[in-house]
Amino acid sequence: MKRYGSLEVRKLVVTTNAVFLALLSAWYLLAGSWSTETITPEPDMGDIHEPSSSSGSGTFEFETVMGIFMQDDPSTDWTGFEYTNNNFGLINRSYPTDDPSSSSTTTAPWLRFAQYLHHLTTTSPANVQYKLLYLGRHGEGAHNVAEAKYGTAAWDAYWSKRDGDGELFWSDARLTETGKRQALAAGEFMGEMISSTEETEKGKGGKGGMPAPQAYFVSPLFRCLQTANVTFGSLKLPAGSKPFRPIIKELLREVLGEHTCDRRSTKTLISTNFSEWRFEAGFTERDELWEVDHRETAEEHDVRTRAFLEDLFGMEDEEDSGREGKEDGMVYVSLTSHSGAIASFLRVLGHREFALPTGGMIPVLVKATRVR
């Protein structure tokens, strides 16, 4: 996978925009008018959000499948939303794959949704993939405490550029005790949600039946490594589940540059503390992405996020090419990262803004269509 430094990202954004504008101008002169054609959602899938404007010239177009989770509904107020009290936000709705002989109110919603998603993944065209992303934000870190202590303005202007204040240390910030409790609470919730089918059927329409992640990816910043370890490391997984052995990915990092809390530790230090975990190919010993004098823009960050998604779905494409069907792929994927990174994912996927508190999680059903 190609790695992107901040300077490369800025050059890529400028070049891509320039080429796009030139082509658009030429098309306009030839056509004489703007097209008013709209994208029509596919039937029986929930609404498909139109591809985001950051689609660029990648291999895939990414869309959020709407109408599945409360979090993608504009009427849901994210400021007070408790995902742990709302079945992770899954809407208790009907699906085309529901068994007509049983009531939707007596079968666990997650079991019915999983059956529907299995249908989508196994019957979709060869160039289409679906994945459910479990996006998780790290628990509270020392830097979060410091920003609350000094205020955002003073934090951004001065304190964020220092390693600490003599009382708190936030360079590659670690979790606070509150952050560890938040990560533990997320783990307890996930344990309830992925309880076995047999246990779920006993309680019928309640929690449980949510498929466990089939792959785990995590940002290399310490607060995310700690969060993923506490949340998933001791989780009792249903029989047949993929083991928790995450891959550490640079592209999942928080907004790059200036803030020392977002400057990562060495590969050696990370490996010493998380010796069983895997690094992506090409992971360098020292941080080569963080710059002291440039804070990554949202546009630059979205290029990085898109590169991660291209890599994730491209990986699945390579696996699919050697087998019949797509039923064995990575459909349920856990990503442990940051508020800024999750905001970028939602932008690239065409999802509405939905800010998460520290330790929060959000599920997003993604449709990816190979276009090149």
d(CA 192, CA 207): 7
d(CA 70, CA 77): 9
Q: Do 348 and 54 meet the contact criterion of CB atoms below 8 Å apart? A: yes
Question: Over its length of 372 residues, how does the chain's per-residue pLDDT go in tens digits?
Answer: 444 454 454 544 444 444 444 444 443 333 333 333 333 333 344 554 444 434 456 799 999 999 999 999 999 999 989 999 999 999 999 999 998 876 555 678 999 999 999 999 999 999 999 999 999 999 999 999 999 999 999 999 999 999 999 999 999 999 999 999 999 999 999 999 998 555 545 444 457 899 999 999 999 999 999 999 999 999 999 989 999 999 999 999 999 999 999 999 999 999 999 999 999 999 999 999 999 999 999 999 999 999 999 999 998 655 444 334 455 579 999 999 999 999 999 999 999 999 999 999 999 999 999 998
d(CA 277, CA 193): 24
119 is catalytic: no
Q: Phi/psi class of residue 326: alpha, beta or left (left: φ > 0; alpha: ψ in -120 to 50)?
A: alpha
Question: 14 phi and psi, to 5 degrees?
Answer: -65, -45
| Confidence at residue 103, expressed as pLDDT on a 0 to 100 scale | 59
Question: 85 phi and psi, to 5 degrees?
Answer: -100, 0
**Neighbour-count burial for 145-179, b at 16+ CB within 10 Å, e otherwise:** bbbeebeeeebeeebbeeebeeebbbbbbbbbeeb
CATH number for position 10: 3.40.50.1240
Map tokens 């530790």 to a residue.
Answer: 265
Cα dihedral 307, 369, 363, 192 in deg (nearest 10)? -110
Map tokens 């065209």 to a residue.
Answer: 125
Annotated active-site residue in 49, 61, 63, 138:
138
Q: Phi/psi class of residue 48: alpha, beta or left (left: φ > 0; alpha: ψ in -120 to 50)?
A: beta
| Token pair listed for 101 | 């002989």
254 is catalytic: yes
Residue among 129, 330, 42 at smallest CA distance from 212: 330
Does 175 reside within a domain? yes
Does 1 reside within a domain? no
| Token pair listed for 45 | 């899938």
Residue among 364, 317, 366, 359 at smallest CA distance from 183: 359
Helices (H) and strands (E) in the chain, counts: 10, 7
Does 57 reside within a domain? yes
Does 82 reside within a domain? yes
d(CA 69, CA 91): 5
- Residue 69 structural domain: 6-370
Distance of CA 28 to the CA centre of its chain: 36
| Token pair listed for 42 | 């596919």
Count of the separate structural domains present in the chain: 1
Q: Do 344 and 298 meet the contact criterion of CB atoms below 8 Å apart? A: yes
SS3 35: coil
| Token pair listed for 364 | 């997003």
d(CA 179, CA 223): 9
Annotated active-site residue in 61, 254, 310, 316:
254
Q: Do 229 and 274 meet the contact criterion of CB atoms below 8 Å apart? A: yes
| Confidence at residue 316, expressed as pLDDT on a 0 to 100 scale | 63
Q: Do 358 and 261 meet the contact criterion of CB atoms below 8 Å apart? A: no
Does 80 reside within a domain? yes
Does 208 reside within a domain? yes
